[in-house]
Amino acid sequence: MELEKAAYAPYDGPEEFITEWTDRIWVGRGIGLIRENYAADAVVHGAYGTTRGAEQVVRSTLMKINAFPDRVGQAADVVWEPRGPQAFLSSHLVLSAGRHTGPTAYAEPTFREFTSYTIATCLYRLGVMEHEWVVRDEAAVVRQLGLDPAEVARRVAFGAWDEEALRPPARPVLEAGDTGPRPDRHRGECEGVLELVEQVWNQRMLHQVEQYVARDVTSYLPRHRSFVRPDGYQRGLLELLAPMPDARFEVREVVAHEDPARGGVRVALVWWLRGTYCGTPVHGPLTGSPVTVLGSSQFHFRDGRIVAERRVYDEIAVLAQIARARGDEPA
């Protein structure tokens, strides 16, 4: 399946398309260009719910740039694959850096600097974004600004996700994701990642992790934490699951791409984690209430094994759901 140039015009390829459009909007402050870059009925799933249309993206972008006017989003990686001759699905890993000099919904300016990671997974058709999942490591920002994550979580606005986004997939995700059929590329690596999710993440067969990861594997997790070796990979997963020991992961999109300049095959996932806050009480008193987490991961392969995973999800969104179930929101 060859991707037509019209899918990423006027740039030289999908990666340049993604990085240049991001720069034009966020660094060049061409906020109104979002109306050209996003379809009028674009679907955007975030950590706090689903929105539709370009206008909500324009408004939220304007407010975030006002809060962090010198923020620069540097492309750390772009994993992409064609979805038909005129469309591609991309997983864009962004390293953001800036200073908090404007007001946000939960704090006056702190004048502190921050860095954080975002993964935006987008379906573009003929240069227009139709479907997006975007997750940010908001807890990293909150902590670097010197704010209390629990207090911030009590103040954030929480919407609802589109019901269709949470329904069981109609087809195996290797055949088709939520955005439609996908190419049969890098099947071995894709199957390996999905087996890891099912066997190690879902079935809790943590002792099998060495079947999938290299000895020198590194897990990059929210709040700029890194875990090394298979033992570290297990510990990072245990930490995520302990508060919700009944939780399960459901993969909704797979993106695979090989780039020799970056050292091999990369596989990206969009996933939901759903469980109940009934385990380790790290977020305060247990509520037994449901928690839904939208997350994304990028896996880097070398010689058939995973040597790195970058996992991004919003821990403030988790705290916000628990606070709402507990009735902790401010009056």
pLDDT in tens, 238-277: 999 999 999 999 999 999 999 887 778 999 999 999 999 9
Residues 6+ away with beta carbon under 8 Å from 132? 42, 43, 44, 45, 120, 121, 122, 123
Q: Is residue 331 part of a domain?
A: no
pLDDT of residue 263: 77
pLDDT of residue 260: 81
Q: Please identify, among 163, 181, 208, the residue that sits at the C-terminal boundary of a domain.
A: 163
| Number of domains within the chain | 2
Q: Is residue 182 part of a domain?
A: yes
pLDDT of residue 123: 98
Token representation of residue 57: 């993206």
Identify whether residues 154 and 32 lie together within a single domain.
Answer: yes
Q: What range defines the domain where residue 205 resides?
A: 173-326
Q: Please identify, among 120, 143, 163, the residue that sits at the C-terminal boundary of a domain.
A: 163
Residue 179 CA: distances (Å) to CA of 41, 42, 90, 289, 291: 14, 12, 12, 30, 24
Identify whether residues 118 and 218 lie together within a single domain.
Answer: no
Identify whether residues 265 and 285 lie together within a single domain.
Answer: yes
321 neighbors 273 (Cβ within 8 angstroms): no
* Mean pLDDT in consecutive groups of 10 residues from the start of the chain, 331 residues: 92 96 95 97 96 96 96 94 97 97 93 98 98 98 97 88 89 95 96 98 98 98 98 98 98 94 90 98 96 98 96 97 86 54
pLDDT of residue 1: 62
Sign of the CA dihedral with 311 first, then 316, 317, and 319 last: positive
pLDDT of residue 158: 80
Identify whether residues 144 and 186 lie together within a single domain.
Answer: no
Element (H, E) at 256: strand 248-259
d(CA 269, CA 264): 17
Q: Is residue 65 part of a domain?
A: yes
Identify whether residues 10 and 78 lie together within a single domain.
Answer: yes
Q: Residue 218: which CATH number? A: 3.10.450.50
Q: Is residue 168 part of a domain?
A: no
Q: Please identify, among 144, 163, 182, the residue that sits at the C-terminal boundary of a domain.
A: 163
